[in-house]
């Protein structure tokens, strides 16, 4: 029998090198690895103390009737702009995928602020020359109360203003416009809306309407209804902030027929199919929630959201929207 040793052939030896990641620069994948690093241990201890301060749980005997779910740690390294480590963050989460919808919970959601709300705050700061500070609420989601009872196993390694403010009067102005059947592919109109709090734009949109409008009046009126819906929500946000407006919010429209339709309670064959939008606008006008005002086409800021414009008019409307070209900063 011929073998390698008899033939003088030796198997080539392969040498390999293993490298252990530096978990001060990389997030550890498991608790076992993180528990070997003092920095991550201190972060987990801080998170655990915060959970205890908020009385997040109480220890109870388990029973077979309970759906006891597990938990695990998630680790994240927060970095500065130069990629250096700012701090280490550890987050304890329950394994919610072991729960059943309709049995262990009814609905889930995450509270997220809408951009127009931020724009309102920035607009107020600009008008009143306020200084803005950014802050983060630690353990923000621990302040809420659960309606359902959730049973979770103990984690490994850790077993056993009310000052009202008064500001000067504010003005809320909405510019709305619409083209009519400009898109040859479907002949649907485009609504353009922008809202100003004082001199600052806080929200804007350019959106194609869902249906084809039979006339320019209908296209303008549908855009008017869309702007009124958004305006009602923004007005409520401003009231919730404890602010007040000097007068009813103003909607500027450059179509006199659409304004006449909103003020005249008479329907005819060309407008009866938009009765829902009509009654919505009419109700807001009669109640004094909004005020309709005619503006010339030259002052219609929302015109920029409905169609392509010549360069001079485009740049003039951009300046009214406080939009500056990046060339100014080069």
Q: What is the CATH number of the domain that holds 223?
A: 3.30.420.10
- Looking at 100, 119, 152, the residue that finishes a domain is 152
Query: What token pair was written down for 60?
Result: 């109870």
The answer to whether residues 188 and 278 belong to one domain is yes
Higher pLDDT, 22 or 153: 22
Bridge partners, residue 178, by sequence = 191
Enclosing domain of residue 248: 172-324
The answer to whether residues 202 and 113 belong to one domain is no
Q: Tell me how far CA of residue 78 lies from CA of 27, 28, 43, 112, in angstroms.
A: 10, 14, 12, 21
Residue with tokens 């709300």: 117
- pLDDT value at position 161? 40
Residues in the chain: 330
Q: How many domains does the chain have?
A: 2
Other Cβ atoms closer than 10 A to 286: 10
The answer to whether residues 292 and 201 belong to one domain is yes
pLDDT average, residue stretch 166-193: 74
14 found inside a domain: no
Mean pLDDT of the chain: 76
pTM here is: 0.47
- Of 249, 247, 197, 188, the C-alpha closest to 223 is 188
Q: What percent of the chain has pLDDT over 90?
A: 0
Does residue 121 carry a pLDDT above 80?
Answer: yes
Model pLDDT for residues 223-260, shown as the tens digit of each residue: 888 888 888 888 888 878 777 676 778 888 887 877 77
292 found inside a domain: yes
Element (H, E) at 190: strand 190-197
Residue 264: pLDDT band (50, 70, 90) is low
- pLDDT value at position 136? 72
* Range from 9-23, 148-162, 258-272 that averages highest in pLDDT: 9-23
Residue 162: pLDDT band (50, 70, 90) is very low
Other Cβ atoms closer than 10 A to 137: 8
Does residue 167 carry a pLDDT above 70?
Answer: no
The answer to whether residues 73 and 190 belong to one domain is no
**H-helix segments, the chain:** 4-7, 31-34, 38-53, 115-128, 216-240, 256-263, 275-287, 311-320
Bridge partners, residue 291, by sequence = 250
Model pLDDT for residues 38-87, shown as the tens digit of each residue: 898 998 888 888 877 777 776 766 665 667 778 888 899 988 888 888 88
């Amino acid at each position: 029998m011929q073998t390698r040793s008899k033939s003088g052939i030796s198997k080539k030896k392969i040498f390999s090198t293993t490298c252990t990641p530096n978990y001060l620069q990389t997030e550890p994948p498991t608790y076992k690895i993180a528990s070997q690093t003092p920095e991550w241990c201190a972060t987990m201890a801080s998170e655990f103390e915060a959970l205890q301060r908020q009385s997040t749980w109480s220890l109870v005997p388990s029973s077979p009737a309970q759906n006891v779910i597990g938990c695990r740690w998630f680790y994240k390294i927060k970095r500065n702009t130069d990629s250096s480590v700012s701090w280490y963050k550890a987050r304890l989460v329950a394994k919610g995928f072991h729960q059943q919808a309709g049995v262990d919970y009814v609905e889930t959601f995450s509270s997220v602020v809408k951009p127009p709300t931020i724009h309102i705050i920035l607009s107020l700061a600009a008008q009143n020359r306020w200084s803005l500070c950014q802050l983060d609420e630690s353990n923000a989601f621990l302040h809420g109360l659960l309606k359902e009872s959730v049973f979770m196993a103990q984690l490994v390694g850790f077993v056993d203003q009310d000052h009202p403010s008064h500001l000067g009067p504010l003005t809320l102005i909405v510019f709305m416009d619409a083209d009519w059947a400009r898109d040859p592919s479907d002949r649907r109109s485009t609504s353009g809306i922008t809202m100003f709090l004082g001199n600052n734009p806080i929200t804007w949109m350019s959106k194609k309407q869902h249906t084809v409008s039979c006339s320019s009046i209908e296209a303008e009126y549908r855009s008017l209804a869309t702007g009124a819906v958004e305006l009602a929500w923004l007005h409520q946000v401003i009231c919730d902030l404890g602010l007040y407006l000097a007068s009813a919010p103003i909607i500027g429209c450059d179509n006199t027929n659409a304004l006449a339709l909103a003020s005249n309670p008479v329907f005819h064959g060309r407008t009866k199919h938009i009765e829902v939008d009509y009654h919505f606008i009419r109700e807001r006008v009669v109640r004094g929630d909004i005020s309709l005002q005619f503006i010339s086409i030259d002052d219609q800021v929302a015109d920029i959201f409905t169609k392509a414009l010549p360069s001079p008019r485009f740049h003039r409307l951009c300046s009214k929207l406080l939009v500056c070209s990046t060339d100014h900063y080069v």
